[in-house]
Amino acid sequence: MPRNLVILGSTGSIGRQTLDVVRALTDRIHVYGLAGHRNVQLLMDQAEEFRPQVVVSAASLRGHDLGDCEIGQGEAAVLDLVNRPQVDLVVVASAGAGGLMPTLAALRAGKLVALANKETLVMAGPVIRQELEAGNGELVPIDSEHSAIWQCLQGEPHRSIERLILTASGGALRELSPEQLEAVTPEQALHHPTWNMGKKITVDCANLMNKGLETIEAHWLFDIPMDRIEVVLHHQNIVHSLVAFDDSSTKAQLGLPDMRLPIQYALSHPERWPNELPRLDLAAAGTLTFSPLDLERYPALRVALQAGREGGTYPAVLAAADEIAVEAFLDRQISFTRIPQIVETTLLRHTSCQSPTLDDILGADAWGRGEAKQLISS
């Protein structure tokens, strides 16, 4: 029987690529539900093509005819959707803090959750781990870096892991000097050399905030201390991450920079399904290079790593302040180099709760957003 799939954030970059994967797997995956934000027309087009049982939008769908399809609006409708007993898989591709509560709801309902939302684990890693350790649902990664680590760890004993090594492309601005970064425009930051992603994550890639967030995610996903997770520059985007073991072996997962591969692996887990995606030709790829990162050049990464090491509610404030600062940069309210400054100042003003509950995390998220907005306006 096909697996019943719900996609949260179906109109975003990962959501659209998930539907690309599903188009080739209609005998294995059935789209049971779609949830989008405010791109109503695209959501309607997706519903027309895939004929799900349920469509949910942040915007009103009044006046749209979807036949027998059930229509919902808002967060309550999303939470109802992921709780339905017919649902097997939930892809969380929605952006920002909005992915947290649906992820928790899906896990508590015993679903397989394929996570592409960084903020969920960054904000609430301890809470998510508690759910998983209690046997509530299963969480698998979609991010190419975490999928690579997950694949490298298949069949390996956890006690043998020495280090996790995340690779970073360096983003759209990797060739610019620190002086040139001062004048970077949103258009420059959004012009990633390899990946086609949403605006927020593309800006995070440009200053390597994304690698700090991914390090915190990897800490919670794979139960590895922060000081045993490294980041190296790898401009070619062929090696997606590596795992070093205590016998001196290192395993890497390689592939073309195409998000459809980690998406399909998350959907097919624990199997691998054949597909028609382009194959990696190592001879054509040529030389693969790796180099260390300069944290002075990438202050956003430095700030994120420090917040991850401190733990408590610092990561929730980190994610909240970064979301607000990136929005302000895209709206041309602040410069590109002000993003990590806003985030760091917000963190310095925060008093962390070191064993946070869900309410503590949500409170820290709200506080971080308000503090970052105040810094930007002043």
Could you report the per-residue pLDDT of 158-183, keeping only the tens digit for each? 999 999 999 998 888 888 888 899 99
66 pLDDT band, cuts 50/70/90, is confident
- Do you find a cis peptide bond into 340, omega within 30 degrees of 0? no
* pLDDT over 90 at 64, yes or no: no
CB-CB contact of 61 with 77 (8 Å): no
CATH topology of domain 3-141: Rossmann fold (3.40.50)
Secondary structure (3-state) at 142: coil
- Do you find a cis peptide bond into 270, omega within 30 degrees of 0? yes
Stretch 59-86: mean pLDDT, rounded?
Answer: 89
Residues contacting residue 374 through CB under 8 Å, at least 6 positions apart: none
Phi, psi of 33 (to 5 degrees): -150, 145
Q: Where are the domains of the chain?
A: 3-141
* pLDDT over 80 at 63, yes or no: no
- The better pLDDT of the pair 269, 369 is held by 369
Secondary structure (3-state) at 291: strand
Q: CB count, 10 Å around CB of 2?
A: 14
* pLDDT over 90 at 67, yes or no: no
290 pLDDT band, cuts 50/70/90, is very high
Q: What is the DSSP letter of 97?
A: G
* pLDDT over 70 at 195, yes or no: no
Stretch 53-66: mean pLDDT, rounded?
Answer: 84
Between CA 278 and CA 291 the distance in angstroms is 27
The pTM (predicted TM-score) of the whole model is 0.94
Q: CB count, 10 Å around CB of 16?
A: 17
- Which tokens sit at 75? 């967060």
Q: CB count, 10 Å around CB of 224?
A: 19
* pLDDT over 90 at 197, yes or no: no
Least confident of 56-70, 106-120, 254-268: 56-70
Which CA distances in Å does 283 have to 69, 107, 250, 254?
49, 43, 21, 13
Helix (H) or strand (E) holding 79: helix 75-83
* pLDDT over 70 at 9, yes or no: yes
Mean pLDDT for the chain overall: 94
pLDDT for res 38: 80
pLDDT for res 12: 93
Stretch 282-311: mean pLDDT, rounded?
Answer: 95
Least confident of 75-84, 190-199, 243-252: 190-199
CB-CB contact of 12 with 257 (8 Å): no
Stretch 20-28: mean pLDDT, rounded?
Answer: 94
Secondary structure (3-state) at 288: coil
- Which tokens sit at 61? 């769908």
